[in-house]
Structure 1
Amino acid sequence: MLLRLQSLASRLLPAIVLLALVQWLAQSNHSLLFRWSAQLSYVPLVAILFAMLVALKFGRSRMVIACILLAYLCVQGLWPALVHTAISSKLTTPGLMALLCVLLWDKDRGFALFNMGLAVVWMLVTLLATYLLYEYFPDEWQHWLVPVHDLLPSPLDGALSPMDWCFYLLVTLLALLKLLLNASHSHCMLFASMLVLPVLDYQNQFVTTQLTVFTLALVFLTAVIIDSHNMAFRDELTGIPSRRALMQYTQTLGSRYVVVMADIDHFKSFNDTYGHDVGDQVLKLVASKLQKVTGGGKAFRYGGEEFTLVFARKSGQQVLPHIESLREQIAGYQMVIRAHDRPVKKTAKKTNPHRRTSTQKQVGVTCSFGVATKSRKHSQFSEVLKQADQALYDAKKAGRNCVKSR
């Protein structure tokens, strides 16, 4: 949980700080801002449309919809008569916040005709529900909202009604709950845009809206690129860099490095005995341990149950104590099975330590390691990797749960 909060803070805080600086800059009323807003009034709209095209290229349907919502703010500022209706003027901020919250809880559905039609339907339902809530909220219940409204700072006390404040608070808490469950860059940027909407509504200045939307366009564009990069270079199951990332990382290595191949012992038996769900848990467990390796090593998932560790600017003798410590940490960890056990097959080998009764609640995991160092004889990364793989084979022949080097 602590690591998840740290990841959330590292992704969300830069966007919030940037948006806060933009709000401060907009409130400075510098003459250049007004000159910019007059001469380059269409730049924010162009920027958000560009971000939408990039999201469309990468198949990020939620970010495309979010860009459309931001484009609505630009159009509302540029051509207010075009979008000014009784409903839009009253429900712009609550409706947009509700839509962004739903986007946070939704998933990317692609751009098939049926999925896009479904997205339009739930957007209309969300707007209708927000409108009905504001229009028909019982007057006799309003006094229940006053104590919550009193928590507002004095400058905002007269700007937001009790209904607005309670609605914004509820939607923000729902969005924050989703962030605690999944904190991708796209999720964080959608949440940041939610936080800034009430500020725009409170200030109600064309220059502030333009500058904020332009900043959000850049933030959305960054989120789409980073998440798309992670999809390409990070393993979806374990969350650590993938084999493609390993091949890219090798281009940055110098003339001195160590490659370690790691393999989970008897991994097939986990899948056969307990099911693939437990096998996935084992992969996640080992990956989390490998990520914490000391000595400056970087962990990658090579494929299947195999992982690769790379130690830049290290020798084999320097790396071995860290690998041995890692092996002991993995072997000493007892994993609690959270899935239903499969019945043990009759053909199971008696020597297999993992094929026990189906009532077993904990299992131990071990790994074998093969270590290879770059040398004059083996100067290419592919050759060093092959040597590490052969050393791993030696560890398997030696009885598994050990470290061998070449």
Structure 2
Amino acid sequence: MSVTVHIAGLPLERVVFSPSPLAELGTALHTLAEPGHHPGVHGWATATNASLKQDLADRLCEADFLWRTTFSDILLGFAGLRDASAQPGGTLSQDLDLLDRLDDESYVMAALEFTCGALYGTDAVRSPLADPALRERALDLAAARGPQQQRFTQRLLDDPPAVRSWIRRLFEDCDRAFFADTWNRVRPQLTADAREKTELLRRRGLAATLAAVSPALSTDEAGSVIDADKLASARTTAVDPAVGPGVTFVPSIHQWPHLLVLHRHGWRPVVHYPVAAPELPGPLSVDQFKLRMEALAHPMRMRLCRNLARAPYSTSELADQYALSSPEVSRHLAVLKKAGLITARRRGRYVQYQLDLKVVGRLGSDFLETVLR
């Protein structure tokens, strides 16, 4: 399985390496929401969370589905503009200005990505703002994640401009509270990495540059595709004339172990990659390791782990996403739970399951990096 970006005929100057303040804020917020994904910056996450004022912390919880469950495409909003010259801004304010240029339908569909996974990457033009059935589905899936997310989704569907303004103010408040200092600290390293990769691309070509970005990235002999080895299958193109040619590589300090490929139809592709990787704990006992590896031998359970590593899911949500019956999903979850790999928590009439990242971390960095990629 892989995500493939078609680049046949794309000039190398349209392969751009550039940091993005908004994307880095998104990964920082994800780290604060899911510190278990990022053990190397646990100290920063603990100190930053402790310093947040209660009002800001509450608002972040209200909108955390934008960066906790999935990394919302609005955090890479420049890629959705029908302007081939649009690239990340030099400041958070500039990135937010680019995001403001998206129309309401593009913004809402990107923000509610978790409700339209079956349509992601396709040329379907349906929008929950215009399609009653898709609107109802969005609200149903939001309800499965709790009343707070249901209320937020309802507000976004009812009044997109007001919620867009609310989200912009939230990001600006994050900048004042902690991100301005964080960005000043990480920007030199991100800028240096982008400059280094750009020079490597010029001197040694695409294949060597992709290898330097991540061992999960490769290209064919003709240089006609970029292939990202992930537990997902998707295709997109960087040479759509309606969108404008180009693919952007965005480096991140807080991103490890995630390697994200934006492949939304009608948006230019983006590869969002980490520039550093911390060490993880050592191995398990042989008996426990054997039990857990046997539980992961089934390919569907590996794919379920990809979801459960990012956020809690109910049986019905997983069944809907993979076109399986609920009993079949339940059998796979039972095997994972018996091996001690997942936890279960009841929320109202739903039971939500999530991968135990502390346990998974003991399987080794290769497995953790694969499911979180």
- TM class by shorter chain equals under 0.3
Larger radius of gyration: 1
Query: Relative contact order: is structure 1 or structure 2 higher (C-alpha 8 Å, sep ≥ 6)?
Result: 2
TM-score, scaled to structure 1: 0.21
Higher helix share: 1
